[in-house]
Structure 1
């Protein structure tokens, strides 16, 4: 009892399910990005056998560059506000 393609799409693809698919796809994309980032850039993750045999490494510089990535260094120079223009506008009212 196989469904033909047109009946399958009528049964499973509905407009009310699109937000659910979007939310799940976004979550899976973010999770995949974080896994790829940690596996490729984290200095504590060692995939090669030679790197694993080295044991505990003294790599504070690599850890600092991993922790202080581009977004964090960009936000460090900014004021910690969500909407600075609105905050400035309302602070000048007094």
Structure 2
């Protein structure tokens, strides 16, 4: 169910978590800190990019329930108008 962008965030988060659990912290904490920091920064940059794009309108937002209901009503009325002449003819002939 994950989209490509969601998968990217998950991969970056996993990478940061792995760096957090690395055995390198016991051997070389400075390097471990740098690696962990770089991975966390990559995750934050990706989150910022996606939030920025969403704010710019390039990613459509989920319609509200009211918007969905209005859309369904419009579709229902359009289908009803399309079929109404046939339904009336069938009722008259019956």
Normalising by structure 2, we get a TM-score of 0.31
Higher helix share: 2
Q: Which has the higher contact order (CA 8 A, sep 6+)?
A: 2
Larger Rg: 2
